[in-house]
A and B are shown apart, each in its own frame.
Chain A
Amino acid sequence: MRADAAPIIAVDDVRKHFVGRRQRAGLLGALRDLARSERTLVRAVDGVSFRIAAGEVVGYLGPNGAGKSTTLKMLTGLLVPTSGTVVVDGRVPWRERKAYVAGIGAVFGQRSTLWWDLPVIESLELLRHMYRVPAERFTANLADFRALLDLDAFLSTPVRSLSLGQRMRADLAAALLHEPRILFLDEPTIGLDVVAKERIRDFIRHINQARGTTVVLTTHDLSDVQRLCERVMIIDHGKLLYDGRLAVLQERFGGRRALVVDLEDDAAGGAGGPVDAGGVEAAGLEVEGAELVERDGLRLTYKFRRDEVSASALIGRLSAALRIRDLEVREPDIEATVRRIYEERLLEGEGAERT
């Protein structure tokens, strides 16, 4: 982000505390709760700060209960923080609600924004009036979205009859008809099949590139993040653990890349079968810079670190020693990476990483 560009979203030391009632277990506990319930302080968001520049696509990740939805609600004006400041596009979201929401689009994956019993097009028409979109802009945008999202198939269908994928597309069109500068998405691809997910992602990417719309999306699907987001923020227990590029996250915690080699014939001798990382059976299969972790007949799996040896160097060394029929380089699994970060608390205690 250029130092001179003012961020479109500025969040400073935002906290959101809820007074929760601790529910005690069992029938006796429930009865006790009726009489006198214990109050607990839930720190849903506990000192989060970040800046987002116009035109960025940012992923916001975290396990369930981490504070993602709460943060999103504060960014969209639905919740007022306990402390801290939020300024989006020059406004404080909850203070100038009507003026503010006229300039943003929001899609919450679980709930539709459209009128349930009426055809999609009627919802879009009404929203046009609500957002005061000039007729020509509306027609132009609608034509654009009809092409990109293939809306014609169901524009006249009542929302209640739509499939989840169609409803998601309709919700996206509805959220963008008034050309907002910022789009907030809460789990936009949840529950969708692979083809539908791709379509949604392509559309979001197009909107960002063609119109410069800033996109903030929360998701559990890391492919969403991989496909769409240059930058990712990870939140857990109300604190921001990481704020930077996904590739860097991968490099630091990503585990090793894999090189899977299919041999021409039983070049090294021996019957084959899986082999432990520690128990390589025959010399000639080892190579400098990588570890042979598995042998399954003619298929060998080596693990190596990006910063220790490049894929091409490794391939060169192996080709010199073995007769290779085919090979494949596999990137570490992002899901596994992030899961490890949550479970092993790899980022805690470091403060938010900025890269």
Chain B
Amino acid sequence: MVHSLRLYRRLIGMEVRAQLQYRASFLLDMATSVLIVAIEFGTVAMVFGRFESLGGWRLEEVALLYGMAAMGFRTMDLLFSGFDPSDFGERIRLGQFDQVLLRPASATLQVLGSRFHLRRLGGAFQGVLIFALAVWIGDIAWTPAKAALVPVVLLSQIAFFGALFVAGATVTFWTVQSIEAVNILTYGGNELINYPMHIYQLWLRRFFTFVVPAVFINYAPALYILDKADPLGLPPWSRFLAPVVGAGMLALAAAFWRVGIRRYQSTGT
């Protein structure tokens, strides 16, 4: 176990040093990452200039959703860079996964350690700023429980979206090229949770409650933090389901991943 952690650290170290070789590119990418999140939120803020509220939520309340989602998703994007479906699919196509199977270390560990795009930290940092804005402008009645919930929510989001990345990467064992449907769930899912879920139509809410349970990883905990009533009629304990949802999705994705590797060993590609 210790050996694995050290190996992971070393693999990440290799990746970081490799990125720093291309300093200009790295700095530009980092700046772009920050800008993208800022601009995206900026457009949301501008909408609020026009409309008073979004489904009854004020700007600073939406900013809470936005900030948490950005922190969670972008951090996941960094940690799970190796499982990014389009990148992984490309490596499968080029036959580079063989190399992973020829080394005496867990395939999962090697893939996790194979990429570590530092530039994605830019987006996570931007999320911190937006979250800080939400906390500063808003009048949230903080309690220790609420404060403790924030990191739990972030970890849950990392697990949730990480699971989608892993599943999307696993699909490429069959399809070789990553499929667009995966992007709808990952990037689309990230977009979706930026806003209060009750503004969406029933079928969409149902899908993201019972099929891909995204409602529990941002909106539900935000209801608790903001002391808002739940217009969707979910039971009160659902506001704390985030870690269960995250862990559950990750476990399912891990199982699927193992199936994928076995399949790769039986067919080659």
Contact = CB atoms under 8 A, between A and B. Distances in A.
Contact of B104 (A73, A78, A79, A102): A102
B221 to A, nearest CB: 39
A94 B6 contact: no
A78 B11 contact: no
B128 to A, nearest CB: 30
Interface string B4-46: 0011001100100110011000000000000000000000000
Contacts of B101: 77-78, 97, 101
Interface string B66-105: 0000000000000000000000000000111011011111
B265 interface: yes
Interface string A66-78: 0000100100111
Nearest to B97: A78
A158 B21 CA distance: 10
B143 interface: no
A99 interface: yes
B106 interface: yes
A73 B7 contact: no
B14 A126 contact: yes
A79 B98 CA distance: 10
Q: Is the interface of B mostly helix, strand, loop or mixed?
A: helix
B267 interface: yes
A23 B179 CA distance: 22
B201 interface: no
- Classify chain B's interface size: 20 to 34
B104 A122 contact: no
A97 B189 CA distance: 36
A108 interface: yes
B259 to A, nearest CB: 14
Contact of B268 (A79, A98, A115): A79
A345 B26 CA distance: 57
Contacts of A111: 94-96, 98-99
A98 B109 CA distance: 12
B3 interface: yes
A118 B176 CA distance: 28
Contact of B98 (A78, A80, A126): A78
A39 interface: no
A158 B268 CA distance: 30
Contacts of B17: 118, 122
A101 B103 contact: yes
A206 interface: no
A130 B268 contact: no
A221 B267 CA distance: 28
A98 B266 CA distance: 17
Contacts of A106: 102
A132 interface: yes
Interface string A144-175: 00000000000000100000000000000000
B264 to A, nearest CB: 9
Contacts of A118: 14, 17-18, 21
Contact of A116 (B18, B104, B106): B18
Contacts of B106: 98
Given A111-B95, A111-B99, A129 B10 contact: yes
Nearest to A119: B17
B81 to A, nearest CB: 15
Contact of A79 (B96, B105, B266): B266
A129 B106 CA distance: 14
B18 A117 contact: yes
B99 A113 contact: yes
Contact of B10 (A73, A78, A99, A126): A126
Contacts of A79: 265-266, 268
A126 B104 contact: no
A106 B99 CA distance: 9
Contacts of B21: 117-118, 158
Interface of B: 3, 6-7, 10-11, 14, 17-18, 21-22, 94-96, 98-99, 101-106, 265-268
Query: What 7 pairs between A and B have smallest CB-CB spacing?
Result: A102-B104, A117-B18, A98-B104, A80-B266, A101-B104, A80-B265, A117-B21
16 contacts: A73-B268, A78-B98, A79-B265, A79-B266, A79-B268, A98-B104, A98-B106, A101-B103, A102-B104, A106-B102, A111-B98, A115-B18, A116-B18, A118-B18, A130-B103, A131-B104
Given A113-B102, A122-B17, A130-B105, 12 more contacts: A18-B267, A73-B98, A78-B98, A101-B103, A108-B98, A111-B94, A111-B98, A115-B14, A116-B18, A118-B17, A122-B14, A132-B3
